[in-house]
């Protein structure tokens, strides 16, 4: 089956979704072009759940597309805070659910296993469990009685992951750090949208291509050709991150006109229209 799609197809999928998640980590392999396309649309706000969020989520916050945000990390690496997230939090404009990396991973694992929750010791003794809007609950083990944390399965309607290479059937390869993307793909099985640096007719056999993390076509709903789709965030080994461009984003992203122009120019460039 040919799964090559367009950004318009992605927007149609997001239109029917309540929640969305993005792959990558911090300022590495973030699906910036996909976020820009969503940010330019007339779609309303969505619930966003991410492991390691960055400028892609910040862009959506700036464009008014985020209703609530669950995250383990949100930032721009060594540059510090995401500007629109900081403004939204200071002004109380956003419902925030703070988590940790392990708790988010446990939520993805529960979704991947199709169980309502997973028990873990992570989070015990921390303020994460004391927040009034926390999704986590302290429970007692049915076997030993010891305290545990119940982590609900993450309910993700659409996941967007930027990959190095994909073929027309939806098979994908990521080189370098996978972060939580493989778990995310399993958690959002058959609702995964991929933007790819390179689109090929068919991936090379595993014994002839460089070692990387393989994501099966069985998990993927659509593949979008998006060379440069991670923009100033790194996609190793093809492209290092552009820290100067990311600093420019940080300095200007709270300016509505600047952010609109940035998103529009990025989508046009990735589509080959600029």
Query: pLDDT tens digit string along 174-185?
Result: 999 999 999 999
**2 located within any domain:** no
**In this structure, what DSSP letter does residue 115 have?**
-
**265 located within any domain:** yes
> What is d(CA 60, CA 56) in angstroms, rounded to the nearest whole number?
7
**121 located within any domain:** no
The domain total for the chain is 1
Residues β-bridged to residue 98: 71
- Rounded to 5 degrees, what angle do the CA atoms 229, 267, 90 make? 85
User: Do the beta carbons of residue 13 and residue 221 sit within 8 Å?
Assistant: yes
**68 located within any domain:** yes
H runs (alpha helix) in the chain? 7-15, 32-40, 55-62, 83-90, 101-113, 181-187, 243-252, 256-271
The pLDDT value given to residue 274: 73
The pLDDT value given to residue 209: 64
- Selection from 146, 145, 148, 127 nearest residue 137 by Cα: 148
**130 located within any domain:** no
**119 located within any domain:** no
**229 located within any domain:** yes
* Residue ranges, the chain, pLDDT below 50: none
The pLDDT value given to residue 211: 79
Q: Which domain holds residue 62?
A: 7-114+154-269
> What is d(CA 274, CA 269) in angstroms, rounded to the nearest whole number?
5
The pLDDT value given to residue 206: 66
**197 located within any domain:** yes
pTM above 0.75, yes or no: yes
Q: What is the CATH number of the domain that holds 26?
A: 3.40.1080.10
């Amino acid at each position: 089956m040919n799964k090559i799609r367009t950004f318009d197809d992605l927007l149609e999928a997001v239109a029917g979704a309540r929640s969305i998640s993005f792959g990558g980590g911090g300022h590495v392999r973030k699906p910036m072009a996909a976020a820009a396309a969503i940010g330019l649309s007339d779609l309303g706000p969505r619930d966003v759940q991410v492991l390691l969020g960055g400028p892609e989520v910040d862009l959506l916050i700036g464009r008014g597309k985020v209703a609530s945000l669950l995250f383990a990390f949100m930032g721009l690496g060594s540059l510090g805070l995401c500007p629109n997230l900081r403004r939204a939090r200071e002004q109380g404009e956003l419902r925030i659910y703070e988590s940790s990396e392990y708790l988010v991973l446990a939520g993805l694992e529960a979704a991947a296993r199709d169980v309502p929750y997973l028990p873990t010791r992570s989070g015990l003794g921390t303020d994460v469990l004391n927040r009034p809007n926390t999704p986590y609950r302290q429970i007692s083990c049915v076997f030993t009685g010891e305290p545990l944390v119940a982590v609900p399965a993450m309910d993700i309607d659409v996941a967007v992951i930027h990959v190095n290479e994909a073929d027309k059937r939806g098979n994908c390869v990521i080189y370098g750090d996978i972060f939580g993307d493989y778990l995310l793909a399993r958690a959002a099985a058959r609702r995964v949208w991929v933007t790819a640096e390179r689109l090929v007719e068919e991936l090379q056999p595993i014994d002839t291509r460089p070692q990387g993390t393989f994501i099966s076509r069985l998990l993927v709903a659509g593949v979008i050709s998006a060379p440069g789709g991670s923009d100033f965030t790194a996609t190793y080994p093809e492209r290092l991150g552009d820290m100067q461009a990311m600093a420019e984003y940080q300095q200007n992203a709270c300016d509505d006109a600047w952010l609109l122009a940035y998103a529009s120019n990025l989508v046009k460039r990735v589509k080959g229209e600029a």
